[in-house]
Structure 1
Amino acid sequence: MPQQTPEYIHVEKPTIEQLTGMGWQYIEGNWDNPAITERDNFKQVLLTQRLKAAIKRINLDDNGNPWLDDIQVQTAVSQLERLGANKLMEANQAATELLLKGTTVLGQDGKQHTVHFIEFNPEYWQHNDFLVINQYRLDPPWATGNRGFIVPDIVLLVNGIPLVVIECKSPNLDNPITEAIQDLLKYSNQRGSSQPEGAEKLFHYNLLMIAASRGRAAAGTIGANYEHYVEWKDTIPSPQGEIAAQLGVSELNSRQTLIAGMLNPANLIDILHNFTLFKTSGGRTIKIVPRYQQYRAVHKALHRLQHNQTRAQHGTDDQRGGIIWHTQGSGKSLTMVYLIRKIRTIPELRRFKIVVVTDRRDLERQLADTAVLTGEPLQKAKKVRTLENYLQQPGAGLVFGMIQKFKGGEDSEEEAEIEPIPKNLNPSENILVLIDEAHRSHAKTLHTNLLEALPNCVRIGFTGTPIVKAAKKTTLQIFGSFIDEYNIRKSQEDKVTLPIIYEGLEARGTVTQGDDLDQLFEIIFADKTPEERALIKAKYATKTQVGEARELIKAKAKSMLFHYIERILAGGFKAQVVASTRLAAVRYQEAFVEAQREIVQQLEHRAPILQSLDAEALELRDAETRFFAQALPHLEIIRKLEFATVISGDKGDDPSWKKWTDKSQQEINIEKFKKSLDQDCLAILIVKNMLLTGFDAPLEQVLYLDRSLKEYELLQAIARVNRVYNDKKTEGLVVDYYGVDIAAALSVYENVDTELALFDIRAELPKLRDRHQQVMALFTEKGCTIDDVDACVDLLRDERLRVEFNDCFKDFLNTLDTILPRPEARQPYNFVRDAKKIGFIKKAVADLYRDEKLNIVSAKEKVRALIDQYIESQGIDPKVPPIDIMSLDFKTHVQRHSSIKAQAAEMEFAARHHINVNYEEDPVYYRNLSERLTEILESLADNWEAKVEALRKYIEQIQAGRTTNETGLDPKTQMPFLNILGEHSQKPLPELAQATVEIVEHIRQEVKRINWSNQIIQEDLRKWIAGYLDEHDLVSYEQLEEVADKLVQLATRNRDNLMV
């Protein structure tokens, strides 16, 4: 019977009950007997008897009879057990391929025949075996006895194959989902530990890793980081109300929804079969499973395809298509791939010819590369006549066609004349046309011709932006109604995309609309005299000339690079610049190199002065000096920054442009850009039109605009920065150097969702004030001010209040980071000043209460640097941990506290920390210390003077250290082992002391071995100790393994002392 903990009662048990209600068989796990979970031993991952039975059951001959004998079944199982891959991702990919495609065995006819491990046919999926086991003990290869095993809370097995691992956490924890993910990463050896922590083989077959608490759950895959674990918010094909009624609740919570939506047996099989992909990005393999909106959209589209009327049946228009509107960054292109893949598994839809239409080469390439994963040959049509040929061919097929060609390449604004496609080229009803970015392509000539050429086809339009009002009627006439909608608001709520902060020219103190050239020159060349500005202005009469002007580009590039270094570089992110013309894009690259050189020279020149300024002095300096002070620690990376232009080529181009127009070099630069800064220093890409759609680079955080963008082009471009990357990237930024009228550009859209497309940075100021007030109220409502550090620190003794404080302060700092270095961060409310003071309080609280959760490192680089400088100005090094109890200065440090409560707290928490840190070195000794501390605190309670005196004497005893007792054993190297033996043995003390000397001497020789960390060596030592204890009859037979395990663990903890 599992322990009745909050974790079991509120998470594990109801999860199992919901699973069994959906048809999963349940076996209660057992840590002592592997046979209960149908295994020969705890190292076994596959339930081979179930697997063998399932293989025979689902692999039938033409007459519906099993045809595999035991030898053939064992051959298939062996293929699944021996994957031939060392790395987890490689093994998982190999296992997934076997599960999807099966393996081959030699038949009685001498030919190779395919054997499947899972029945994927929707008509027969019930032939699979669905089993849930909780408390699923698994021993890693190095585990021995009852040491080193892992116990995932719940494992879901299909035909004896573990596809899902669920880790449950108590709702009483501060961050249960994060802690559950941490355990999952530990179990699968994905935490980056130098030594193996888990049983990696369990995850060779894994489809889903799920972190669950009482009301929330999030799912990820092998290789996923914390931020990639997401909730599943739909129960398709069953209505959520129906599931809620079955569970007896009024509304489903996140955990219940995920279980119903992902772990319903039919859905789980479907996700594995049709929605699981691997792709390579930035040099690493990524495993992908669908998000709920992708899964929902595919099933809604399939329902229309299978059940709605054709054109002939309806009499006027085909009713089987529609529009899928999934906002940019939410995986729209993958939804296309999932739909194609799913269609090919449905018998009545396999005969469809699928035509994918796009109007961008880079988007076509992205979709095509991804669609290779469907396993179907692609027919790419780069010319209208080639497309015409593919379309008129009868039967199924997968065709990719460009809908638009431009004169002069993708960066040209002029459309080429397009040859028409003959009408009624293919009248088949079994043609599905998938049109990417349908909102902007549907009025094009080729698009219209295409639909006339395929008059009876199904049309599904995909769009990542809302529909323009003026085009809505036409769009709906061509495609039909919406199949599925997933808007910006929803994607941000789900944390699938990030909010985008817009910093317009008016917010930057520059011009709007790009029209007021006088104002533009005034701002950009503010350092010039009026006469110099007039001369520069006279050279440039048009906006095109302005956009290409070297002086202007030089000034803007310098401003952008300052912004990049000040706002983006510290997080390790990258940037993109949208230039007005191809020439401007080339000149920008040159200007960035020049600006970089100037900044490096300035940093080298100013370094001695900057290094001499403390936080207070720096605060009085001008903004430029503060910028260089902030940039100085990053000097080496600034030296290495690279900049590249990506533009299309033309016959009349300057030969020097070749490095920017060559396709192969562009691919190289794009791959370099997608790598982290510590891998590749290509930090900024400059484009005109290219890479504004279909370009996915999660490392990109800021887009600098220097040309006019409108409607879909604007929404497409800004979405480059909304991709999730890690916890440091909390928003994307769009910085406007042209003067785009955002309100006008977005007003053409039907849906108010565009209000969330961009957040004006000025709108962040009220949010900053609110968050500032929230964190200040934690103190003021309790009668404290942040100037009274001791009172604030004493107030935060309450651990729950510390958690609330930490959350509020983190939100405040994140918003402050967004505003900095704008002057509003300092005036009139002086948020920076208060952030520094509260940061100092946080450091004091973290030190006093030894609370590592309050480490200021959670703040972003920019604000953390400000706070660190302030803390240093107060005579404290923020990088130095709290003073240790064993320090000679500890007594003096305690006396510095003016409050007697603070003195008591310093000693109490220093003692607790000392015990916790050193506990494993001598568990018995430190357990006794802990009990004595508890006795002092409880007996003296509010008698502060007596408590301080008792704690002082208690600390002095700890500092004095353990003295040699009557045994004469060394307190550091021998006594810890004697203490363990003394807890488990009834033998006289002298006999135990002699045994300790002999055991420790043997241990000393073993731990000195170079390969001591090898688990086999440690197991040999454990066996020797168990033998010694048994031979000398020191402990009972039942305790031999337990005591031997404890002594080996003690040897590991004390290795440094034992090697002296």
Structure 2
Amino acid sequence: MPLYYENRVPKLENENLEIQKDLERVMDFYELSTDEEEKLEQEFSTFYHLITREDRLNKVAEDIVTHFTARGYDGKAMVVSIDKKTAIRMYTKVKAEMQRHLAKMNIAVTKAKDEHEKEMLREQVQKYENIDMAVVVSQSQNEIADMEEFEIDMRPLRARILNEDLETKFKDADSNLRIVFVCAMWMTGFDVPNLSTLYLDKPLKNHTLMQTIARANRVYPNKTNGLIVDYIGVFRNLQKALAVYASTNAGDDEIIKDKNELVEILFATVAKARQFLKTLELDIKELLEAKNVEKIRLVDVFTNKILQDEKTKQQYLELAGDAHKYYKAVLPEPKAEDYYHEVTAYKVIASRIREVIDEDTDVSQVKKDLENLLDRSIRAGEYVIKDTPKLKDLSKIDFEALRKFFDDSDTQNIEAEALSAELEEKIKEMVRKNKLRKHFLDRLNKLLHEYNTGSHDLDAFFDQLVELAKELSEEDRRAVSENLTEEELAVFDILRKENLNPSEVDQVKKVAKELLARLKQEKLVLDWKRKEETRADVKITIRDMLYDELPEPTYTDPDCEDRTQKVYFHVYDNYVDEKVNVYA
């Protein structure tokens, strides 16, 4: 996964102008084994005391909290300090700074101008109130006495390291342990895919540097990149940073890059999304500058235009997703702040599209995104996202009213897309219970293909969707009309042949009912699929009943054998046991 670095070296009063030269000498001399900590302090006392000064560590701790709480991607973080006592000091300072940050946020909650702002701040407070941090450092002789010289009580920290499985907790993405403080442990050979930010305050070079920063480049869902925040100046010179990787024959994706390159990717992606909308005769600036009520209307106008065909829809969703992904990846970044409302607008439109095509979309999140886009002056309940009629129960749909709704709508692409998405979901549910209904899904896919390739206009497409919905409504009622349950109908459809007379139809229904009842009562025992003998028993039961009960001579031996195989695979696919099945 790509790695980027950000230089956040703190500016200090009376900073030694030779510090960079000292840093180079330290890195050349010192490969940072814990046994050499005292040597570092002795050989480079000026450099060591400068970077461990109280005022400097306070600034770094404050910046870590500022950066950590403003990130877009909420991955785990590792703080790497120069030695054990500095790691512990940094842990103490960051914990204290986090409490100060929370106190400021709680004050901000009381001063919030509206409920939406309050709710956003409360969520942030709750998120960081429960955060856990830990020091992970190796044990050494006399460490308790050594640390007491610096007014550090090592006992509770060591007790936690020994008594808790901090490694497992930190690797668990859902654990509250979000930040660890180290100086040597866990810097190499320790994989935490969810770790996205490494705060580096220790002079490192070459292989050790490469191994340490690689902690942040592991692949994880929704993670765009890893970020190295440099507080000591290791990456002050970009060419030297690249040389570290070039010497290891690393691939392009492994070469660490300046975070400004990621910012440029964001700018280019936003510009691409803006231009894409212009090709559809849509101007995002118009939406951003509109008043609240008009903004809501324009969200549907944009959505409707984008839903003109599948290719346009997918291109937009990809661009909007990239814009949001890169915006989150660069945070916190002052240069990106000007793009907040534009990226939010792209996200709102994408959310609206997903709401149309997927009824499981979290509508509360759509509304939250919309609130972020609207002016803060809007009051709760002042806006409503228009709903499209839902096809929960096909038997209750008034198809004439549905057609009139479409004719009267000024967002007909949305209505057609919503109807096709709901029909697809309904058909998949019906096919799950009876695979012989797959022709309905094939037909819908054919309609979508013909519409997307321009074979049908929107009016004709909607009419065909309505016609398909009517047929699905009839199919939905067929089990009742045949005096069967849904699961009995599925078996009946497998057994049925063409041109059966009424008496034969009744006999096949009887076989379907009795076969299913016998299997469920006697044969579909717990874990029946695991054992060869229980599987064979199920198959023999099916074969015997079909050969004995299906009407002759209409059903020949090959017919019975064919139906035996099909019914067996139907039962195998859909029944875990008597009570656990797709019909339960």
TM-score (norm 1): 0.40
Distance 1:824 1:1059 in 2: 55
How big is the shift at 1:554?
4.4
In the other structure, the counterpart of 1:902 is 414
In the other structure, the counterpart of 2:432 is 920
Instruction: Rate the CA distance shift 1:818–1:882 in 2: closer, same or farther, 3 A.
Output: farther
In the other structure, the counterpart of 1:585 is 87
Distance 1:500 1:935 in 2: 45
Distance 1:751 1:913 in 2: 50
Unaligned runs of 5+ in 2: 18-45, 288-297, 375-379
Distance 1:905 1:952 in 2: 12
8 A Cα contact 1:925 1:979, kept in partner: no
Unaligned runs of 5+ in 1: 1-497, 518-541, 619-624, 858-862
How big is the shift at 1:998?
1.8
Alignment of 1:834-983 (within 5 A): 834-850=342-358, 867=369, 870=372, 875=384, 883-886=390-393, 895=406, 897-925=409-437, 927=439, 931=443, 942=456, 944-945=458-459, 947-949=461-463, 951-952=465-466, 954-955=468-469, 958-959=472-473, 962-963=476-477, 968-970=482-484, 972-983=486-497
Distance 1:998 1:702 in 2: 63
CA root-mean-square deviation: 5.2
Instruction: Rate the CA distance shift 1:841–1:924 in 2: closer, same or farther, 3 A.
Output: same
How big is the shift at 1:641?
0.8
Structure 1 residue 1030 and structure 2 residue 558: aligned?
Answer: no
Alignment of 1:553-592 (within 5 A): 553-567=57-71, 570-571=74-75, 573-579=76-82, 582-592=84-94
Alignment of 1:704-715 (within 5 A): 704-706=199-201, 709=203, 711-712=205-206, 715=209
1:642 partner SS: strand
Distance 1:1014 1:899 in 2: 53
Alignment of 1:110-125 (within 5 A): none
Larger helix fraction of residues: 2
1:653 partner SS: helix
In the other structure, the counterpart of 1:631 is 124
Distance 1:966 1:654 in 2: 80
Instruction: Rate the CA distance shift 1:657–1:884 in 2: closer, same or farther, 3 A.
Output: farther
Distance 2:301 2:310 in 1: 16
8 A Cα contact 1:850 1:909, kept in partner: yes
1:646 partner SS: coil
Instruction: Rate the CA distance shift 1:513–1:499 in 2: closer, same or farther, 3 A.
Output: farther
In the other structure, the counterpart of 1:678 is 174
2:486 partner SS: coil
Q: Which amino acid aligns with 1:817?
A: K
In the other structure, the counterpart of 2:230 is 736
How big is the shift at 1:545?
5.6
Structure 1 residue 819 and structure 2 residue 330: aligned?
Answer: yes
Identity of aligned residues (%): 13
How big is the shift at 1:1048?
1.2
How big is the shift at 1:989?
1.4
How big is the shift at 1:644?
0.4
8 A Cα contact 2:4 2:225, kept in partner: yes
Distance 1:870 1:585 in 2: 39
1:1024 partner SS: helix
Query: After superposition, what is the alpha-carbon deviation per residue over 1:657-684, rounded to whole angstroms, capped at 9, x for unaligned?
Result: 6559979958977735763243672631
Instruction: Rate the CA distance shift 1:650–1:868 in 2: closer, same or farther, 3 A.
Output: farther
8 A Cα contact 1:915 1:929, kept in partner: yes
Q: Which amino acid aligns with 2:93?
A: A
8 A Cα contact 1:698 1:725, kept in partner: no
Q: Which amino acid aligns with 1:575?
A: M
Alignment of 1:155-304 (within 5 A): none
Instruction: Rate the CA distance shift 1:679–1:826 in 2: closer, same or farther, 3 A.
Output: closer
Instruction: Rate the CA distance shift 1:812–1:935 in 2: closer, same or farther, 3 A.
Output: closer
8 A Cα contact 1:586 1:657, kept in partner: no
Instruction: Rate the CA distance shift 1:834–1:1004 in 2: closer, same or farther, 3 A.
Output: farther
Structure 1 residue 772 and structure 2 residue 263: aligned?
Answer: no
How big is the shift at 1:1027?
1.7
8 A Cα contact 1:901 1:944, kept in partner: yes
Distance 1:1019 1:657 in 2: 69
Q: Which amino acid aligns with 1:922?
A: N
How big is the shift at 1:719?
2.4
Structure 1 residue 594 and structure 2 residue 100: aligned?
Answer: no
Q: Which amino acid aligns with 2:486?
A: K
Q: Which amino acid aligns with 2:393?
A: M
8 A Cα contact 2:80 2:181, kept in partner: yes
Alignment of 1:88-167 (within 5 A): none
Distance 1:938 1:504 in 2: 54
Query: After superposition, what is the alpha-carbon deviation per residue over 1:404-437, rounded to whole angstroms, capped at 9, x for unaligned?
Result: xxxxxxxxxxxxxxxxxxxxxxxxxxxxxxxxxx
8 A Cα contact 2:191 2:218, kept in partner: no
Alignment of 1:655-666 (within 5 A): 655=148, 658-659=154-155, 665=161
8 A Cα contact 1:816 1:825, kept in partner: yes
Distance 1:1019 1:575 in 2: 57
Distance 1:824 1:645 in 2: 35
1:576 partner SS: strand
1:1044 partner SS: helix
Distance 1:744 1:902 in 2: 49
Instruction: Rate the CA distance shift 1:725–1:515 in 2: closer, same or farther, 3 A.
Output: same
Distance 1:1049 1:944 in 2: 42
In the other structure, the counterpart of 2:190 is 696
8 A Cα contact 1:718 1:734, kept in partner: no
Distance 2:517 2:225 in 1: 58
2:575 partner SS: helix
What is the aligned residue count?
A: 508
Instruction: Rate the CA distance shift 1:867–1:822 in 2: closer, same or farther, 3 A.
Output: farther
1:567 partner SS: coil
8 A Cα contact 1:921 1:1050, kept in partner: no
Instruction: Rate the CA distance shift 1:748–1:592 in 2: closer, same or farther, 3 A.
Output: closer
8 A Cα contact 1:847 1:881, kept in partner: no
Distance 2:234 2:519 in 1: 73
In the other structure, the counterpart of 2:259 is 761
Alignment of 1:797-808 (within 5 A): 797-808=308-319
How big is the shift at 1:972?
2.9
Instruction: Rate the CA distance shift 1:971–1:578 in 2: closer, same or farther, 3 A.
Output: same
8 A Cα contact 1:512 1:738, kept in partner: no
1:974 partner SS: helix
Distance 1:502 1:605 in 2: 33
Distance 1:972 1:881 in 2: 29
In the other structure, the counterpart of 1:447 is none
Distance 1:680 1:633 in 2: 12
Instruction: Rate the CA distance shift 1:736–1:968 in 2: closer, same or farther, 3 A.
Output: closer
Distance 2:492 2:113 in 1: 54
Query: After superposition, what is the alpha-carbon deviation per residue over 1:850-896, rounded to whole angstroms, capped at 9, x for unaligned?
Result: 599xx899xxxxx999848659997569xx99955538799779658
Structure 1 residue 993 and structure 2 residue 509: aligned?
Answer: yes
Distance 1:1013 1:675 in 2: 36
8 A Cα contact 1:705 1:735, kept in partner: yes
8 A Cα contact 1:548 1:583, kept in partner: no
1:594 partner SS: helix
Q: Which amino acid aligns with 1:845?
A: I
8 A Cα contact 1:967 1:990, kept in partner: no
How big is the shift at 1:915?
0.9
2:521 partner SS: helix
1:570 partner SS: coil
8 A Cα contact 1:643 1:683, kept in partner: yes
Q: Which has the higher contact order (CA 8 A, sep 6+)?
A: 2
Distance 1:712 1:505 in 2: 21
8 A Cα contact 2:73 2:223, kept in partner: no
Distance 2:301 2:537 in 1: 54
How big is the shift at 1:979?
1.9
Q: Which amino acid aligns with 1:584?
A: T
Query: After superposition, what is the alpha-carbon deviation per residue over 1:831-859, rounded to whole angstroms, capped at 9, x for unaligned?
Result: x222222223323333444599xx899xx
